[in-house]
Amino acid sequence: MATIEEALEIERLERDIFRGASTKTQLPRTFGGQVAGQALVSAVRTVEPRYQVHSLHGYFLRPGNPSQPTVYLVERIRDGRSFCTRRVTGVQDGEAIFTMSASFHLGDAGPEHQDEMPTVPPPQDLPDAQVSLSPERLWAMREWEHWDIRNIPQEQVYRRDGQASQQQVWFRYRHPLPDDPLFHVCTLAYMSDMTLLGSSKVTHPDERTQNASLDHAMWFLRPFRADEWLLYDQNSPSAGFGRALTGGRIFNERGELVAAVVQEGLIRTQRKD
């Protein structure tokens, strides 16, 4: 399947208009992480290199057709001394399938603190999903063969009192990536849509559901590399009315909190007929 370089490839059509590549996939609709990643790359191309992405907020409006490219229209909302803001709309067949606001910051000096990383088994002690997944789930590893994803068994998940549903996952891109920090940010935006909604299914493992991402927000907190191990500490504080709220904190192996994610997704019970 597609490499991350292929998945994030965009072509500039006009000053603020871009076209994202369609890639080979097994999925019936365009993967949300690819749409978000391409939209962010488009926004990055309109901002001076001295600015770094610090947040994004996106809504998945319609299912994308994976066999068609997506056109991204970028609006330059603000160019300030410290912050820049862009709004991006992804379009297929004349209809918006995704909209996103992205904010960029020069970086400033200020107080620092962060939560501690949960105590979990190191990734080296866990099996590679390519050899540990059940046959009915192997399609996921074929789809994302370039990612090394290692789920922490539920009996080894670091538990926090009062949390309804938790899941923890180690992941990294299998191959060396370019040194450009913005490429790693866009790569993480792509990956962050993987596995997160699954944290809402932990307490309902046998219930058949229709799942899809509805909206997605990220904050990039510290530098990182997506080709080094990252811990995705996930939880789902609420599910109901066919929707689930999920959240994730992403740490590097040194215990630094590098990003945070919040997503709401469709988790609708499938009919049995």
Torsion of CA 203, 125, 34, 217, to 10 degrees: 60
CA atoms within 13 A on the CB side of 162: 0
Closest to 39 in 3D by CA, of 109, 88, 106, 79: 88
> Does residue 193 have an active-site annotation?
yes
213 catalytic? Reply is yes
From the list 34, 200, 236, 263, the catalytic residue is 263
Catalytic residue among 166, 193, 199, 200: 193
β-sheet bridge partners, residue 85:
78, 103
Please report, to the nearest 10 degrees, the dihedral formed by the alpha carbons of residues 166, 266, 27, 206 taken in order. 50
Task: Determine whether 165 is an active site residue.
Answer: no
- Phi and psi angles of residue 205, each rounded to the nearest 5 degrees, phi first: -65, -25
Can you name the residues that pair with 14 across neighbouring β-strands?
17
Write the CA distances from 52 to 218, 220, 232, integer angstroms: 14, 9, 22
| DSSP characters over 125-175 | GS--HHHHS-GGGHHHHHHTTTEEEEEPPGGGS---TT-S-EEEEEEEESS
Catalytic residue, from 92, 103, 213, 234: name it. 213
The catalytic site residues sit at 193, 213, 263
